[in-house]
Structure 1
Amino acid sequence: MSAFGKTSTPYWQALPFALVFLLFFVLPLGLIVMVSFWDYNGYQIIPAFTGQNYLDVFDGCIADLPDLCLTFATYLSTLEFGLMVWAITLVLGFTVAYFLAFHVRTLTMQIVLFLLCTIPFWTSNVIRMISWIPLLGRNGLVNDTLLRLGLVSEPQDWLLYSHFSVVLAFVHLYTLFMIVPIFNSMMRIDRSLLEAARDAGASGWQTVWNVVVPLCKPGIAIGSIFVVTIVMGDFVTIGVMGGQQIASIGKIIQVEMSYLQFPAAAANAVVLLAVVLLIIWGLTRMIDIRKEL
């Protein structure tokens, strides 16, 4: 094989993946950006360049400071959901991954327990969300149990169609996205490092904090990116579990699309993408994933 053939082989191997990436990511994203600068009226899109869609997104946001405009308030609410879900899924995901990696001795049992974690993904997200409604409703199992035990005197309305139910559904849906990368990082840890820490007199918590956590940074970062990016763009979970009463950026985009306001929806989507990319950039600045892997 010639020198040119040897140097070009990797490019030919990467070409199919590059074409798929171009066709299903770069091209649609480019179209969204292009449409975000188009005009529209009540019944059609007008392919004329305008920046009005972005001005409408941030309409009054500067003039109303220190009060929050609709856009800033909605982004703040969405970020709060992202932060709460990230913190809960991180604790749960790390705990489950730690148990599977260090306390389950046999590979067969690890596989069995890991498959149990994936069982919820055998059904659709909508079915998993709806399953919480008969449990958390005023006449649901949770309220009936609380009433029978005498812990409350009347049904609790905050259990369903509230911020609590939205966060609960998010955690139920997306904890596995945190478990998998953290478990993968833990399985790559040299067990002799843990033995050395114990021989040096480190307690269990000291070993976890000073040995396991630093070596799991890539998995934590990847899981965090998965969870935060999904939650930021999710509108179905917030709509169903929030009773269509809680606003989110994804919900605003969905409503604009239902009213055929595609340029406005595209502008909001571009702004949301910029915010998500900023979050990912911040995570990758704290942890160099490529270097750690």
Structure 2
Amino acid sequence: MSAPSTPSLPAAAAPGRTLAAWWQALPLTTVFALFFLVPLALIVMVSFWDFNEYELLPGFTFKNYIAIFEGCSNTSDWCVTFKTYFSTFKFSFLVWLITLVVGFAVSYFLAFHVRSSSVQTLLFVLCTIPFWTSNVIRMIAWVPLLGRNGLVNQTLMGMGTIETPIEWLLFSDFSVVLAFVHLYTMFMIVPIFNSMMRIDRSLIEAASDSGATAWQTLWNVIVPLCRTGIIIGSIFVITIVMGDFVTIGVMGGQQIASIGKIIQVQTNYLQFPLAAANAVILLAIVLMIIWALTRMVDIRKEL
């Protein structure tokens, strides 16, 4: 009669494998801690410090957070902080909506209307050409086009369409949104295109065989299966636009406010604790937006 065999531990539970997994994660964990957690902790700490014209005063005070929302208790009119956040949310929403429509349309064309994989690759690379140059150069390129004496105004006046130059083409909300869409649409195209390429084409054929129209197939089959890509692209676009200050400064003619712009100005005037408090509030809002978006899908399936 043979002795009963002792059950062996699963491979994943073996001590050696567990220790090796920790060692493999250590470099990335160290980089994440040094370049993200430590700077973030310093920003939070400095946001509670006091300051004057000459130096920072380490301590613990809510003075900076109170100063940010000073005057916001008046219900008859919005304070500067609320107006600035509203402007930032407005740009984020408009850019998100436009990039979503454009990104979805481009991705749909590449995934379902271009049959050749080589042509798909070629067209996809063409979409990335704007990223071969600096963001600042791409923004400045709009100035000679949209300016008062720019190409657009000169062409419209030459055609007799307008008699005087259009003022709102440059240094306005329109130019800021246009520059944002130009700069960040690719962040929406890539994840949506990746999701569309994973869709089983037999599902689309089954929907067509069941009598579904093109719009019904798009809305009931393709869009739900692309939801993860849409959420990832939305996170990219919204988080970048929420913290951007260069695009708003250049294309808005330094006349349009945003939270990122306020933080930049406060940093230039050496008001580091006040800028840190604004950064903490902005980070908290962005994290809440990301949390709400990630509740809709399981992003780990896409990754």
Shared fold per TM-score greater than 0.5: yes
**Does residue 226 of structure 1 match 2:236?**
yes
Amino acid at match of 2:43: I
Quick check: 48-57 or 9-18, which moved more?
Answer: 9-18
Q: Give 1:112's aligned residue.
A: 122
Distance 1:34 1:214 in 2: 43
Distance 1:214 1:108 in 2: 27
Q: Give 2:28's aligned residue.
A: 17
Distance 1:278 1:66 in 2: 28
Q: Give 2:133's aligned residue.
A: 123
Q: Give 2:68's aligned residue.
A: 57
Quick check: 246-255 or 48-57, which moved more?
Answer: 48-57
TM-score of the pair, normalised by structure 2? 0.94
Selected match of 2:107 from 93, 97, 110? 97
Q: Give 1:193's aligned residue.
A: 203
> How far 1:119 moved relative to its partner?
0.5
Amino acid at match of 1:17: L
Distance 1:174 1:291 in 2: 24
**Does residue 250 of structure 1 match 2:245?**
no
**Does residue 204 of structure 1 match 2:214?**
yes
Q: Give 1:76's aligned residue.
A: 86
Selected match of 2:38 from 21, 27, 33? 27
Q: After the TM superposition, which segments of 4 or more aligned residues of structure 1 sit over 6 Å from their partners?
A: none
Distance 2:159 2:216 in 1: 40
> How far 1:287 moved relative to its partner?
2.8
The 5-angstrom pairing of residues 135-284 of structure 1 reads: 135-284=145-294
The 5-angstrom pairing of residues 39-50 of structure 1 reads: 39-50=50-61
> How far 1:289 moved relative to its partner?
2.4
Unmatched tracts of structure 2, length 5 or more: 1-10
- What SS class does the counterpart of residue 185 from structure 2 fall into? helix
The two structures, once aligned, show a CA RMSD in angstroms of 1.3
Q: Give 1:290's aligned residue.
A: 300
> How far 1:208 moved relative to its partner?
0.8
> How far 1:292 moved relative to its partner?
6.3
> How far 1:8 moved relative to its partner?
2.1
Distance 2:249 2:37 in 1: 29
Distance 1:253 1:114 in 2: 36
Unmatched tracts of structure 1, length 5 or more: none
> How far 1:11 moved relative to its partner?
1.8
